[in-house]
Structure 1
Amino acid sequence: MKRILLIHGACHDHWCWHATVPLLEAQGHDVLALDMPGRGNDTRDPAALTLADHAETILGAAGDGAVLVGHSAGGFSISAAAQAAPEKALHLIYVAALLPQDGDTLVGKMRSFEAKERPRFRRAGTDAYIFDPEGAAPFLYNGATEAEAAAALDHIVPEPNAPHQEEIRLEPGFDAVPKSYIRCTEDRMIPAADQERMAAQGKAARYDLATGHSPFLSDPRGLAALIHRIAESS
């Protein structure tokens, strides 16, 4: 059994994994859902946060080594951690996530995708943004129940801008870390075709789930089963 770290995407925190954690624990894994910098009780200046801060948070919880699971923008977070300490990344699992190439920024990656419509954002202070809850659920949580989507929207948080604008540097140590990609075929946030392309470019083994962007809400059992299967192969 493995230590598994679950990393949320933009404007979310550890809560989004609440249904997935016990399912993986039931398989005997040591599971922890983390908060990335800039939320909760983090009092640091959001304008000063970097991808290195994300990596430090993840690696501080990785122990001797962990399977790193990143959702959406969390793909940059787990990639930064694996770049910083590839020996601690047993396997990288991207869940409808951004799998970057060297020199990418998160903002640039999102702009390259085929999606023509996305949820609106609004400013949250001078150095952060947050999803506008009005109209966001069909993009972020399609396939989840209305109650699940409403609960998720109640938990969205401001997202610091700075790490999304930073170029990620990825070297051979990162390239050597095993990678898998869970493509969500009904995703309205990151189109399935773009997910497929990222998986191929990143040389990641690909698995498909017939869900929207947030399978931890719409199909936590299916998601947990795939994460378990990949983790056991690591």
Structure 2
Amino acid sequence: MSKEALRVILIHGSCHGAWCWYKLLAELQSKGYNSVTAIDLAASGADSRRIPEDVRTFKDYNRPLMEFMSTVPDGEKVILVGHSFGGLSLAFAMDAFPEKIAAAIFVNALLPDTLHQPFYFIDQQLQQLSNRKIELEIKPVVITGKSEPFLTACFDSNVLATYVYQNCSFEDLSLASMMLRPTLNFSEDLSNCSPFTKEGFGSVDKICIICNEDALIKEDFVRWMIQNNGNVKETIEIEGADHMPMLSKPRELCQLLASIVDIYSIL
């Protein structure tokens, strides 16, 4: 079966956009994998919407992925790749469209389960950051008709350089400093969501890629999520990768994704 058999969909993490996959896209395309799409979630990357003026809920934020999945023809499957906060985006798509997903690849991403509400895993990670004195840049945004301001979050320059991009080139760090956009943690609506289902989210093959030098989502936390989930098909580690392996280790990540695509293309 050709390399065109399965489409690969790349989902970015918090504050980022489709732009962060540019090196990986080039690597995959150079090897003949041309059916690869990087999606901007709402109010991310080049998407014109803004947080919180236009996007206030996770459902709004994740709508571009859900709309894309709805256009996948019946009988066709894709491979989803989610990075960091993008793991939750994958989980919602897996729950809604399990029959359209051959496999979901979590790249040092939040990995929920079928027992806890989605926000549980965000809260656990935020506690980890707090315990390590890592603080995001929080700004209140007042919206007409809303009594309380929205608290947006972004990475400041120190956190970005020390914990997110520490193994990346200065050029990629500079690019990020220009391209990052504020986000929300969506605590209110994600705390009120039901856990993901075994029939949907639980039924899709899950593959986890661990970045062993990630200083933001630490390896021990990722392994805890994997153990907690209890339904991960395979775990793979990339040596020397920081939080942004698509930039710090694009060739290694490309090789892993290509091998996974090849396996699922012949199943």
TM-score using structure 2 length: 0.79
> What is the alpha-carbon distance in structure 1 between the residues aligned to residue 33 and residue 188 of structure 2?
34
Match of 1:208 in 2: 237
Indicate whether 1:138 and 2:168 are aligned.
no
Change in Cα spacing, 1:66 to 1:56, as seen in structure 2 (3 Å) is farther
Does structure 2 conserve the Cα–Cα contact (< 8 Å) formed by 1:124 and 1:158?
Answer: no
Of the three residues 81, 104, 107, the one matched with 2:118 is 104
Deviation at 1:49, TM superposition (A): 3.6
Does structure 1 conserve the Cα–Cα contact (< 8 Å) formed by 2:51 and 2:184?
Answer: no
Change in Cα spacing, 1:177 to 1:59, as seen in structure 2 (3 Å) is same
Indicate whether 1:16 and 2:45 are aligned.
no
Whose radius of gyration is greater, 1 or 2?
A: 2
**Residue type matched to 2:242 in 1?**
G
Deviation at 1:57, TM superposition (A): 1.8
**Residue type matched to 2:261 in 1?**
A
Match of 1:193 in 2: 220
Match of 2:197 in 1: 171
RMSD: 2.3
Does structure 2 conserve the Cα–Cα contact (< 8 Å) formed by 1:119 and 1:139?
Answer: no
Change in Cα spacing, 1:163 to 1:85, as seen in structure 2 (3 Å) is farther
**Residue type matched to 1:209 in 2?**
I
Structure 2 residues without counterparts, runs of 5 or longer? 142-148
Match of 1:84 in 2: 96
Deviation at 1:69, TM superposition (A): 0.6
1:60-118 per-position Cα deviation (integer Å, ceiling 9, x unaligned): 32423311111000000111111111112221100011001231315313135476143
Change in Cα spacing, 1:199 to 1:133, as seen in structure 2 (3 Å) is same
> What is the alpha-carbon distance in structure 2 between the residues aligned to residue 107 and residue 116 of structure 1?
16
Change in Cα spacing, 1:43 to 1:176, as seen in structure 2 (3 Å) is same
Aligned length, in residue pairs: 234
Query: Percentage identity across aligned positions?
Result: 26
Indicate whether 1:121 and 2:137 are aligned.
yes
Deviation at 1:212, TM superposition (A): 0.7
Change in Cα spacing, 1:147 to 1:92, as seen in structure 2 (3 Å) is same
Does structure 1 conserve the Cα–Cα contact (< 8 Å) formed by 2:55 and 2:61?
Answer: no
> What is the alpha-carbon distance in structure 2 between the residues aligned to residue 136 and residue 188 of structure 1?
10
Does structure 2 conserve the Cα–Cα contact (< 8 Å) formed by 1:47 and 1:162?
Answer: no
Deviation at 1:176, TM superposition (A): 0.8
Does structure 2 conserve the Cα–Cα contact (< 8 Å) formed by 1:55 and 1:78?
Answer: no
Change in Cα spacing, 1:3 to 1:121, as seen in structure 2 (3 Å) is same
Deviation at 1:233, TM superposition (A): 2.0
Structure 1 residues without counterparts, runs of 5 or longer? none
Indicate whether 1:217 and 2:243 are aligned.
no
1:13-62 per-position Cα deviation (integer Å, ceiling 9, x unaligned): 11100111122223324111111112321258557543334554213324
Does structure 2 conserve the Cα–Cα contact (< 8 Å) formed by 1:96 and 1:213?
Answer: yes
Of the three residues 42, 64, 67, the one matched with 2:79 is 67
